[in-house]
Amino acid sequence: MSEQPVFRITNAQTSFLEEQKGRTRRYLFSMSLRTICFLAAVVTTGNLRIAFIIGAIFLPYIAVVVANAGRERTFLPIKSPGVNLKSNVQQITKSES
């Protein structure tokens, strides 16, 4: 008797549309922060200007990496209530020999 794996509801993947919306929000937030850094670099001087320029240069890379992070989770099935997996394996190995 073959049983399908049972998944916890907390392990269920979010829908692709919801995940894409989340990625878009993270990317837009990072790009907004980059724009703020760029504008701040225009109006400031000294070391602060250099810090804002560095932020404006590296934030696009960070934004892409953060926005593309997703769907890497792996989901492990849990055993069903009342099913003894060890006895099922033993029964299968006995029937094969």
DSSP assigned state of 14: P
* pLDDT at 23 (0 to 100): 83
- Reported as type and span, the H/E element at residue 42 is helix 16-43
- Does the pLDDT value for residue 97 go beyond 70? no
Contacts of 55 (CB under 8 A, 6+ apart): 33, 34, 37
- The pair of three-digit structure tokens given for residue 28, joined into one six-digit string: 């837009």
The string of pLDDT tens digits covering residues 9-50 is 665 666 778 888 888 888 888 889 999 999 999 999 999 999
Q: Which percentage of the chain shows pLDDT scores above 90?
A: 27
DSSP assigned state of 13: P
The amino acid that residue 11 corresponds to is N
Over residues 43-71, mean pLDDT = 86
